A = this chain, B = another copy of it.
């Protein structure tokens, strides 16, 4: 499969608003890279609070990245919605399942990875970081941090590592014997948990290590 050279990429007229530090943005970027789509990437400066400024709020009133803007100006926010649009319009190299049954399996496993892995990993860091107070959750509303939640969420990520290792001892990839969006969310979770929380993969989790090496070596993983 592999990524196409730039000359062979499929021109789309699409723009992705993203941040290099946002794990949700990376879910979008890898998907786009794996499908070989040429999409203009524009960085939103989260540290400067650009997501709260009027210009970006017109793109996504929920004030989170990523968002995909179509040639006619329509904005699509939320990673799963961006994926759904891209898969519908560019069905080659399916990432959301090549059949109805696969689509169900990819949706199920991708969702488990997000609910049990990525969301708690983000919670575990946002509820302890210093910086602007009252920003425990991304979005338009301010919420106080809850340190006890950071601890509980970290336990959840630890359980996620064990659970996904058990899954990968049975299957080559997360959703089955094919690479899919479920692998993207798992990879993003593990790499984010390592960077933000210092959580590495235990040597005992041999299946998880095998899988992490395989999916990290795909050209799209650098996106």
Contact A89 B80 (CB under 8 A): no
Which secondary structure dominates chain A's binding surface? helix
Q: Which of B85, B116, B143, B156 contacts A152 (CB 8 A)?
A: B143
Interface positions, chain A 85-137, Cβ under 8 Å from B, are 85, 88-89, 100-101, 103-105, 107-108, 111-112, 116, 136-137
Contact B146 A108 (CB under 8 A): no
How near does chain B come to A91, taking the closest CB pair, in angstroms? Answer: 10
Contact B108 A81 (CB under 8 A): yes
Copies in the complex: 2
Q: How many residues of A contact B (CB 8 A)?
A: 37
Interchain CA distance A89-B148 in the complex, whole Å? 44
Q: Which residues of B contact A112 (CB under 8 A)?
A: 62, 78
Q: Which residues of B contact A100 (CB under 8 A)?
A: 84-85, 88-89
Interchain CA distance A155-B141 in the complex, whole Å? 10
Q: A168 near B: Cβ within 8 Å? A: no
How near does chain B come to A55, taking the closest CB pair, in angstroms? Answer: 20
